[in-house]
Amino acid sequence: MASHIVGYPRMGPKRELKFALESFWDGKSSAEDLQKVAADLRESIWKQMADTGIKYIPSNTFSYYDQMLDTTAMLGAVPPRYGWNGGEIGFDVYFSMARGNASVPAMEMTKWFDTNYHFIVPELGPDVKFSYASHKAVTEYKEAKALGVDTVPVLIGPVSYLLLSKPAKGVEKSFSLLSLLGKILPIYMEVISELKEAGASWIQFDEPTLVMDLESHKLQAFTGAYSALESTLSGLNVLIETYFADIPAEQYKTLTSLKGVTAFGFDLVRGNKTLDLIKGDFPEGKYLFAGVVDGRNIWANDLAASFSTLETLEGIVGKDKLVVSTSCSLLHTAVDLVNETKLDKEIKSWLAFAAQKVVEVNALAKALAGQKDEEIFSANAAALASRKSSPRVNNEAVQKAAAALKGSDHRRATNVSARLDAQQKKLNLPILPTTTIGSFPQTMELRKVRREYKAKKVSEDDYVKAIKEEIRKVVKLQEEFDIDVLVHGEPERNDMVEYFGEQLSGFAFSANGWVQSYGSRCVKPPIIYGDVSRPKSMTVFWSTLAQSMTARPMKGMLTGPVTILNWSFVRNDQPRYETCYQIALAIKDEVEDLEKNGITVIQIDEAALREGLPLRKSEQAFYLDWAVHSFRITNCGVQDTTQIHTHMCYSNFNDIIQSIIDMDADVITIENSRSDEKLLSVFREGVKYGAGIGPGVYDIHSPRIPSTEEIADRINKMLAVLETNILWVNPDCGLKTRKYTEVKPALKNMVDAAKLLRTQLASAK
């Protein structure tokens, strides 16, 4: 029975690896302690798969930080600033690359395709001296073998590795990363030879860049690379795994004609068009690893539908050449439903976390081999039927309201410059107005109060009193610094998505549904299982309370619909945009309630708008269209005098600037302090932007406190390309993770810089 898992979460069912890593980094435990936790986790994962009956079990998908960083270590591609002098790479060099150290910064981190996972970007150039410097893949293969489990070692393929890298600082931007292929392949050959010697019979190369739009020279690199590896690979079964999207026809053709490759893995959940390519032409005698179990969501598989797809494929590739697999690594889903003791029974029956997906893969493989477990299949069918008909999923009023949206594009009645004039008459702000993004530091005491209130150890009255006190403190502080537009500091909020999800219907929350974001950082995405609506107002109480403490404008703070969508596990029984429109209507109700209650400035954060951008150009316009539309729905009904702000993060958004303008917010603040030049170049190239804009003037992700002069200098750079009357002065993100000892001097310097420039501008006039 042929079953395969592409990869598995590393953190452990109760985040064991996270706590072991953080303890090691804090100097509270030894390297041996960390290695012991890791070895125990690997063993339990391999044994769990073996006991379930999985045939092709992956090894080397475990990582102490990130699989791309592991590959960088394997190739000895350590940037010179880490002072590595050769030899096997140990924890000190490895974690310095990942996290920086006292004297040098970390390597850059960026999103892994369109997931919420982040990888460490290799820094390469013509002078890198590659060498085989981490034997992790071979060591882990042998470790599993000693436990009696024969695994499939997994490596990031050489071409994807280079395509996902960037030229190091000081290397020409135009440097061809693929020109290094000839230098890294000899190391891949060493690794492959050692794996063969150790007894491996299969090897898996992950080449996910094959699903991207690729120019022909990039495609040719795959042909060249695998031809060069062919003789080293002989005697091994070679699987090339792709995931996250349909594979384009040209790429499919290149992939299926690669030399020395035995098997091809496809994501058939996100890549339903790939099925047509397989039906059209699949190379005879090769294996097809069919990714029918979704690795990126938490829903139970529709076993009957998957089985029928598999039967069709069996007719094409033959019984002994079809392997049931996951659509991608299970890294992107939660670990094990067994730890969800508080989750509602009915909702729980609709879900499958990583451990359950392993069972689903095995059940499908057994069914194909003629040993269908009727009990599993009928329980699955019953759960799917209950989800389809459940009154908790379906809310007719919400469906009608969302359907009615399609006829309009929901724009505010007047254009942005007229609105800004009306707002200025009401708000009377100075030029270069100052504000912050929303959150203030969350102290240990504050987290404790929230935790105890949740555990019912503190009465509601005492909780409200404590939060009220915190808001008063934050308001007073901002007034002392003379900030123009205030925030309440969000002391009552745990997380910008969870806080709203907990107050909307159609959302459920897990206790241990953690997913790795990067390194030891995990997130626990809400689960959107049904139609979304807002039973009652969510933020009005706190916002009006905060506004009553000051005469200055107090911003209402909301998370936008697209960000709530992109940072959740989303229902898979209707298109994503339908769910997004429903969330937009719920946020619209909240915006209008805030306005009715005297809040004149309302910020709707869309930190994750760009994160949902599809991988392929041809699908991007449609996504941007409904995402931007959803944002406009939230605030199309407010008066001209109500000022709508939005905040965006990681904005490598030069390519989507037209969509950002189309959001039609009155003021947009941007996290850009690490890429100032990139951002400002858009405006330098003549993009006309008439709304208010606040490119962050200092980086909150670092404990560094910038001086007044440094901030003034940055504002001056911005004034060179932006009109004086639209520029805002603000940090680049919320202050939640910082300490007050850092925040106070930084905000003081920020306001002083704005005042300094106001004076200079006035005298220049």
Digit-coded pLDDT (tens) for 185-197? 999 999 999 999 9
Catalytic residues: 701
* 324 in Cβ contact with 6 (< 8 Å): no
The residues that bridge with 443 in the sheet, in sequence order, are none
pLDDT score of 673 more than 70: no
Report the pLDDT averaged over residues 40-46.
98
Minimum mean pLDDT range among 153-157, 494-498, 594-598: 494-498
Distance CA 724, CA 660 (A): 20
- Reduced to 3 states (helix: H, G, I; strand: E, B; else coil), residue 672 is coil
Task: Identify residue 165 by its one-letter amino acid code.
Answer: S
pLDDT digits (tens, 9 = 90+) for 253-277: 999 999 899 999 999 999 889 999 9
Q: Dihedral through CA 114, CA 118, CA 123, CA 128, nearest 10?
A: -100
Task: Identify residue 445 by its one-letter amino acid code.
Answer: E
The 8 Å CB, 24+ separation contacts for 233-238 are 233/192, 233/203, 233/260, 234/260, 235/196, 236/192, 236/195, 236/196, 236/200, 236/201, 236/202, 236/203, 237/201, 237/202, 237/203, 237/262, 237/263, 237/287, 238/202, 238/203, 238/205, 238/262, 238/263
Give, in order, the Cα–Cα distances in Å from 515 to each of 451, 522, 542, 666: 21, 5, 31, 35
pLDDT score of 651 more than 70: no
pLDDT digits (tens, 9 = 90+) for 335-375: 999 999 999 999 999 999 999 999 999 999 999 999 999 99
Distance CA 233, CA 189 (A): 8
* 698 in Cβ contact with 437 (< 8 Å): no
pLDDT at 408: 85
Q: Are strands 263-267 and 601-605 parallel, antiparallel or unpaired?
A: unpaired
Element (H or E) spanning 582, and its range?
helix 576-596
Minimum mean pLDDT range among 298-302, 318-322, 655-659: 655-659
Report the pLDDT averaged over residues 295-300.
98
Query: Nearest to residue 257, comparing CAs of 295, 283, 294, 293?
Result: 283
pTM value is: 0.93
Report the pLDDT averaged over residues 295-301.
98
pLDDT score of 701 more than 80: no
pLDDT score of 231 more than 60: yes
- Reduced to 3 states (helix: H, G, I; strand: E, B; else coil), residue 637 is coil
> Residue 670 region, left (φ>0) first, then alpha (ψ -120 to 50), else beta?
beta
- Reduced to 3 states (helix: H, G, I; strand: E, B; else coil), residue 752 is helix
Average model confidence (pLDDT) for the chain? 94
- Alpha-helical segments (H) within 165-248: 181-198, 216-233
User: What CATH topology corresponds to 400-764?
Assistant: TIM Barrel (3.20.20)
In terms of Cβ atoms closer than 10 Å to its own Cβ (0-12, 13-18, 19+), residue 217 is exposed
What tokens were used for 209? 């860049």
pLDDT at 272: 84
Residue ranges covered by each domain of the chain = 400-764
* 580 in Cβ contact with 623 (< 8 Å): no
The residues that bridge with 167 in the sheet, in sequence order, are 124
pLDDT digits (tens, 9 = 90+) for 318-327: 999 999 999 9
The residues that bridge with 9 in the sheet, in sequence order, are none
Give 179's Cβ-side CA count (13 Å radius).
11
